Amino acid sequence: MQKNDVIVVTGAAGFIGSYLTGYLNHLGFDQLILVDDFSTEKKSANLAGKKFLHKIHREQFFDWHNSHPGTINCIFHLGARTNTTEMDYAVHKKLNLDYSKLIWELCTSNNIPLVYASSAATYGNGELGYTDSHEIVSGLQPLNPYGVSKNEFDIWALQQKNTPPFWAGLKFFNVFGPNEYHKGRMASVIFHAFNQIRENGQVKLFRSHNPNYTDGGQLRDFIYVKDVVQVCVWLMEQQPASGLYNTGTGIARTFRDLVKAIFTTIQIPEHINYIDTPIDIRDKYQYFTEADMTKLHKAGYTHPFYSLEGGVKEYVNEYLAEGKYY
């Protein structure tokens, strides 16, 4: 990417999209086209102070492109309906599958490189493991409509004979970090735990309903958002083999480790209460996720990832403690 390239970021007002926008500004890129539904007031602070050319509503983006042909140099497609408790598949199909197909087709017909957000939710319970092999994609069984919609697009993308000049679908694992204040229930466990600790000196974690895991011993691959956007930009700049890439640290950690890191950071004695996992998500609950990062490393990515403790410390001290944005 060149500094004067026109770069599209969809989902630009959201958590990862706004962080990527700020990170691109940090790297010297300001010819940005930000695409989203900008009507949600709670998201507006995510873009405060950011440099960009235009903000375009996602429904108007394709008309805008048709009247500005040849303008765009690359697209980061991060826009999606990410609510894993939204059970109406039609909602996810419209935004996560159908809209993504339109983005793909725009990139294909205009020779535009594409990096898009898939999800580790595609792996379901992990019966087939957590490898980003293309061979297993059609056999994956996601646990909710969100995961299904993401996997359906991955399947569709892999079937296409006509493709962008480069494309990468990134299977984001458990991402945390600045600019998720608007996400409500869908915000990271770190965000919720920090607020619980600050309010009453203790934190609630889900009790294990699986005999193979202790309470708080459920495992996730937590990845700091700064690492996620560095992977996005690296792939767009280096353009190794097109395909799906896991985006996690490759090291699963427990929720107990996570909250312990918060207590340590804010120097408060550890106090954890275990509560039952809500019935509406209990049978869809993942007890273990861990990204196999072999493919990305073989492609040449060598930048070290934040440790859980390192990411939590930076997130809490530099952002959450003072309500700051990136």
> Residues with Cβ < 8 Å from 125, sequence gap 6 or more?
141, 143, 286
Q: What is the rounded distance in angstroms from the CA atom of residue 147 to the CA atom of residue 120?
A: 8
| Beta strands at 174-176 and 203-206: parallel, antiparallel or unpaired | unpaired
pLDDT class of 188 with cuts at 50, 70, 90:
very high
Tokens of 194: 């920090």
Active site residue 146: yes
| Annotated catalytic residue within 19, 146, 245, 315 | 146
DSSP 8-state code for residue 268: -
Task: Give the pairing type, strands 74-77 and 54-57.
Answer: unpaired
Q: Which of 74-83, 186-195, 251-260, 312-321 has the lowest mean pLDDT?
A: 74-83
CA pair distance 307, 28, nearest whole angstrom? 27
- Give percent helix, percent strand, percent coil of the chain, each to the nearest 5: 45, 15, 40
Specify whether the CB–CB gap between 92 and 145 falls below 8 A: yes
Distance CA(156)–CA(177), nearest Å, equals 31
For residue 83, pLDDT over 80 is answered with no
Residue range 141-160: average pLDDT? 95
How do residues 22-59 score in pLDDT, each as one tens digit? 999 999 999 999 999 998 888 999 999 999 999 999 99
pLDDT band at 92 (very low <50, low <70, confident <90, very high): confident
Predicted pLDDT at 289: 95
What average pLDDT does the structure give for the chain? 95
**Domains in the chain, CATH or no CATH each:** 7-176+222-251+290-306 (3.40.50.720)
Structure tokens belonging to residue 122 = 């595609």
Q: How many CB atoms lie within 10 A of CB 277?
A: 18
Which of 55, 183, 284, 313 is catalytic? The answer is 183
pLDDT band at 89 (very low <50, low <70, confident <90, very high): confident
Tokens encoding 126? 């992990």
pLDDT tens, 219-235? 999 999 999 999 999 99
Percent of the chain with pLDDT over 70: 98
In this prediction, residue 240 has a pLDDT band, given cuts at 50, 70 and 90, of: very high
pLDDT at 184 over 80: yes
Instruction: Decide: 146 and 96 in contact? Cβ < 8 Å.
Output: yes
Alpha-carbon distance of 7 to 2, in angstroms, equals 10
Residue type present at position 172: F
Alpha-carbon distances of 169 from 197, 217, 235, 252, rounded to whole Å:
36, 30, 10, 21
CB-based contact 278:200 (threshold 8 Å): no
Token digits of residue 24:
């691109």
Give 170's strand partners.
Answer: 117, 245
Distances in whole angstroms, Cα of residue 133 to Cα of each of 113, 203, 226, 243: 21, 37, 25, 9
What 3-state DSSP class applies to 224?
strand
Residue 91 has pLDDT above 90, yes or no: no
Annotation marks residue 324 as catalytic: no
